[in-house]
Homo-oligomer: A and B are copies of this chain.
């Protein structure tokens, strides 16, 4: 092959070329075919390839494409070979002769082709991930909307904090997930540029039309500098970090849901087809899927580390370390993230909420002590710190369970305040009783992004807009990619017509 007098060493073939080929037939060939078509059409359009030659090449290309679509291996792949590209080109030469079959690889290189394949694949991966994230957001928003009045303690540091609702919690974590969606979408913008024409990294003296190739491939732009085009895969860092952030959000949601579905809380419950039992503990109903989700969700973080490490201290030029090794572990990580999203959506859709248990938990959990202090401020004009200290003293004194009545609370609190030399106030028992009621506390938390149902509905509306925008963006990309397919078909038909006429 060219300057080399020998086929690859058998061990090299066994460890690199053979497994590489098995993968590439699945994951590279479909993209290579698309790129090849775009390149042939452009060359022909620029007069760098005669119409008959182009038409011949497109015919063989068409065959390969249909066989590939049918899941066949469309040409001989037996070793010792040096990888997909060479066999692929050989196939053309074998079919069309050296003059035509060997004429395509002008003004391009495996370097810009590989860079383009990676971007086409990354594009598809992002669309798939955003579809799945969108579906999770739909599930989450639906459950949140159903539960804007499902009163539940919120927690800080694992301790009951203040009354809130399940809907408020879901809207909150939904906002974080929505942002990671926006970051994934922003990564699309970094991906969406065509490297073709950069050849080996030093461009070409042939008058190629890079913008046309970009259009044929559904890219919105070209990469201006040829060295950058073949050397950089930086968009993968963006994609992986957005996926990593999304994964972290899933571990947090997964952690909370597993808490709340545990025996100690029983706020939520999963149906039998979403839990497993134990091989020796007959009573067990384990929400193991949440553990899978958390485990799958950290894969993008690890792939990100792989990507950063593989790229570190490489030359800024075409590099196997960057173009192959930094990239390969990213794909299974995106797949894992996608699975985590699907599993979480599944769980959320089927989650059974136990409102009674949530309310029972609030009993004795003292979550309205802030409301009580706020009441002293709002109604009786105390400084907040004074009110807070008085309620703290009250909490220390009160029996834990059953919770003291409003009457007892009012009496004791007045005594505490009197002892603290605060101007005498007279607490209204009715008002104290209302203040101590978690549900009323939720209703009054209307400000500052709180859990009052109307406030949460507004928060969900905001999230819904983000969801809608993401959907629209993805739809726009899909449309552009479909249009590119049509453009190529039309151009190919035109060339075949030209060839017939010539």
Chain A, interface SS category: helix
A301 (CB) vs chain B CBs: closest residue: B308
- Taking a contact as CB atoms closer than 8 A, the residue among B100, B313, B392 that contacts A294 in the complex is B313
A161 lies within 8 A of chain B by Cβ:
yes
User: Residue-by-residue, is A180-221 near B (CB-CB < 8 Å gives 1, otherwise 0)?
Assistant: 100100100010000011111111111110100000000000
Binds B, one of A7-15, A26-34, A116-124: A7-15
- Taking a contact as CB atoms closer than 8 A, the residue among B162, B208, B261, B321 that contacts A202 in the complex is B162
B102 close to A276 (CB less than 8 A): no
Cα–Cα, bound, A320→B278 (Å):
13
Residues 439 to 454 of chain A near chain B (Cβ within 8 Å): 441, 444-452
List the B side residues contacting A207 at CB < 8 Å: 447
A395 lies within 8 A of chain B by Cβ:
yes
A64 lies within 8 A of chain B by Cβ:
no
8 A-B pairs in the complex with CB atoms less than 8 angstroms apart: A8-B276, A105-B388, A109-B278, A168-B226, A175-B232, A225-B456, A251-B314, A283-B395
A299 lies within 8 A of chain B by Cβ:
yes
Shortest CB distance A261–B (Å) = 8
List the B side residues contacting A76 at CB < 8 Å: none
Cα–Cα, bound, A374→B11 (Å):
34
Shortest CB distance A336–B (Å) = 9
A136 lies within 8 A of chain B by Cβ:
no
A222 lies within 8 A of chain B by Cβ:
yes
Residues 420 to 474 of chain A near chain B (Cβ within 8 Å): 441, 444-452, 455-456, 458-459, 462
List the B side residues contacting A255 at CB < 8 Å: 313-316
List the B side residues contacting A102 at CB < 8 Å: 383-386
Cα–Cα, bound, A205→B225 (Å):
52
A279 (CB) vs chain B CBs: closest residue: B110
List the B side residues contacting A128 at CB < 8 Å: none
12 other A-B residue contacts (CB within 8 Å) besides A3-B284, A9-B350, A295-B324: A5-B272, A8-B276, A106-B384, A109-B279, A158-B261, A161-B201, A172-B227, A176-B232, A225-B459, A251-B311, A282-B369, A312-B313
A384 close to B203 (CB less than 8 A): no
A351 lies within 8 A of chain B by Cβ:
no
List the B side residues contacting A86 at CB < 8 Å: 279
A4 close to B277 (CB less than 8 A): yes
- Taking a contact as CB atoms closer than 8 A, the residue among B1, B205, B277, B392 that contacts A371 in the complex is B205
List the B side residues contacting A310 at CB < 8 Å: 294-295, 298
Shortest CB distance A46–B (Å) = 10
A9 close to B273 (CB less than 8 A): yes
A447 close to B302 (CB less than 8 A): no
User: Residue-by-residue, is A58-101 near B (CB-CB < 8 Å gives 1, otherwise 0)?
Assistant: 00000000000000000000000010011001000100001111
